Amino acid sequence: MLSDIQRGESVSLQQYIDNHDGHLCIGLKSITFAVGWYNIEQGETFSWRSTGGPEETLNIPPGLYGFVQLQETLEGASPSATHMLEVSKVNALITLTVASGWEVLLLDGLLTLLGLDNGLGGVWLDAGVYTGDCTINFTTRQMLWIHLGEINTAENIIDRAPSTLLTSIGLGCHAFGDIGTVRVECPEYKCLWVDTVSELKVSIRDASGKAISNHNLLIHIMLAVSKHEHLRLWGLLWD
């Protein structure tokens, strides 16, 4: 069992991998996951005030939100006449309507999730109608990028640069706590660069390369080490 791999720490193997001839490659065979990542992180807030009046603030609990859940959270926090949040069924763009005599403030993380450029940088939004400029996407982490520190980066060039990327996996649409498995019938094998592999440094990242926190829910990874037709399987757990 390997824990806290997202922190970038190497974990020792019970049995080492002998790669003295330099011909071994490694690939992902399967990944079993419990969804523990968030699309709203700690510290996101929503504030409102009447023109010239005192400010009130809602601290939004972190979690993996769907649109309806977030809509109910924001609209239920302040007086019903303050604002209204809608999403178009045609183009999936958000419309935020701020009522006359009111102002609202959303932090950048929340605005980005909603696809709104208005209000970025801590700007209060006056009364009016604000429409997003890109479609909302509440199904965060549709892709997981799995990196392995023992990959030969000289032979693994991605976007014209050496990379430790082993593979990427599409997970589809899930709610928090959902459990699923993706099996890779034909793994993409990457060459190992060390003679003797006694530890593996696995990290799971998002599209920007940032390590993903799964908030103590496990992800199980099965790796295959291949030399010609011979395979050896390694099971890893990440949380």
How many other CB atoms sit within 10 Å of the CB of residue 34? 18
CA distance 237 to 221: 6
Residue 171 confidence (pLDDT): 82
Contact between residue 108 and residue 121 where contact means Cβ atoms under 8 Å apart: yes
Q: With contact defined as beta carbons under 8 Å apart, do 28 and 238 qualify?
A: no
What is the pLDDT, as a whole number, of residue 49?
Answer: 93
Separation between Cα atoms, residue 44 and residue 58, nearest integer Å: 9
Per domain, the residue ranges of the chain are 5-37+141-238, 45-131
Q: Could you say which residues of the chain have pLDDT below 70?
A: 1-9, 80, 139-141, 228-239
Residue 229 pLDDT: 47
Tens digits of residue pLDDT in 205-233: 888 888 888 888 888 888 888 875 455 66
Quick: pLDDT tens for 38-59.
989 999 999 999 988 899 999 9
Q: What is the pLDDT of residue 131?
A: 92
DSSP result, 7-65: GT--EEEEEEEE-TTS--EEEEEEEEEE----SB-TT-EEEEEETTS--EEEEPPPB--
